[in-house]
Structure 1
Amino acid sequence: MEKKIILLADDDMDDTEMFCEALADIDESVICHTAENGSEALKILASLDQSPGVIFLDLNMPIMNGWECLKELKSDQRYKDIPVIMISTSSHRNDMDTAANLGAVCYFVKPNNFKDLKHVLKIITSNLNGNLKEAIKEIQAGNLQHVFVCDENNLKS
């Protein structure tokens, strides 16, 4: 079984725990590395043997926030093609636009509902190895209130 790697950077331990629990329920082959800020995420990324299929970045974190980390990722040749999904409790349109402009594939408003989180993560993880573009389109077609596709051009086919 091919392992699927995800990197999550989020300083909220409750959200991180819920995220990892949802992933474990969905797919045992997913390995989720977690960081408490963008700086730690970059260090973890540099130490991995295999790049993650997707990186989830929380917007508001100490030391290095999600925006700063996203800029670093997209300016680094080693990481610029890894899809990044921004996550936040904020649903402000300007945050979604900024995410798209900085190269994120998707903006995800953190759901309070475990079932909704599992649903979105199931679609993403089942399409990590090459078909993430279709997964993001499927999420968009499902019209989920907390998922906003940033820009299809940010997704490599």
Structure 2
Amino acid sequence: MNPINIFLADDDQDDRELFMDALSELPIETSVKQFENGVDLMAELYSGNPKPDTIFLDLRMPLMDGFECLTDIRNVPELSEIQVIIYSTSYNENEVEQLKESGANLYIKKPNSYNQLKTVLYKSLKPFQNTTSKTNGDLSFMVIV
């Protein structure tokens, strides 16, 4: 089975390292490319290189935030099928509703504990293990706080 190809866009280096550490402890094979801002993420998505299976997208980033990235991703037919998981420290019901309407697949509030982080990462990636195409078109919007 091929690894799940993940793009992680988050300007906080500590959060990216914690994400990578938690992911490494899961029984899921993954390949992760990291980005510090939305501009670099979008440049990679437009580059013609292989697309990710899923994107973990922080909302508050410099240069181009997660809201702008999500809108752009959903407006480009070649990118529109990529699962986008919002991964943020904040939780605001109005923003979550806006993100749902904009096409986010999942909203995860960054957990306070390492074990919770491992659990939410496992739950969000498990559907990819059971498919050969790695697409999860039947994923309805969920919020994990």
The question of a shared fold, defined as TM-score above 0.5 by the shorter chain, is answered with yes
Residue 77 of structure 1, CA deviation: 1.1
Which segments of 5 or more consecutive residues in structure 2 lack a partner in the other structure?
129-133
Bigger mean CA deviation after superposition, 72-81 or 119-128: 119-128
Q: Which amino acid letter does the alignment assign opposite residue 147 of structure 1?
A: I
Q: Relative to structure 1, is the Cα distance of residues 33 and 101 closer, same or farther in structure 2, using a 3 angstrom cutoff?
A: same
Q: Which residue of 1 is the match for residue 144 of structure 2?
A: 147
| 1:6 and 2:6 matched | yes
Mapping 1:73-152, distance limit 5 Å? 73-128=73-128, 129-131=134-136, 133=138, 147=144
Local SS of the residue matching 1:120: helix
Percent sequence identity over aligned pairs? 35
Tell me the TM-score normalised to structure 2 length. 0.86
Determine the C-alpha separation between the residues in 1 that align with 2:58 and 2:104: 12
Stretches of 4+ aligned residues off by more than 6 angstroms: none
Tell me the TM-score normalised to structure 1 length. 0.80
Q: Larger RCO: Structure 1 or Structure 2 (Cα < 8 Å, ≥ 6 residues apart)?
A: 2
Q: Which amino acid letter does the alignment assign opposite residue 53 of structure 1?
A: D
Number of paired residues? 140
Bigger mean CA deviation after superposition, 101-110 or 122-131: 122-131
Local SS of the residue matching 1:26: coil
Q: Which amino acid letter does the alignment assign opposite residue 44 of structure 2?
A: I
Which segments of 5 or more consecutive residues in structure 1 lack a partner in the other structure?
141-145, 149-157
Q: In angstroms, what is the RMSD of aligned CA positions? A: 2.1
Contact 1:99 1:106 in 2 (8 A): no
Instruction: Give the structure with the higher percent helix.
Output: 1
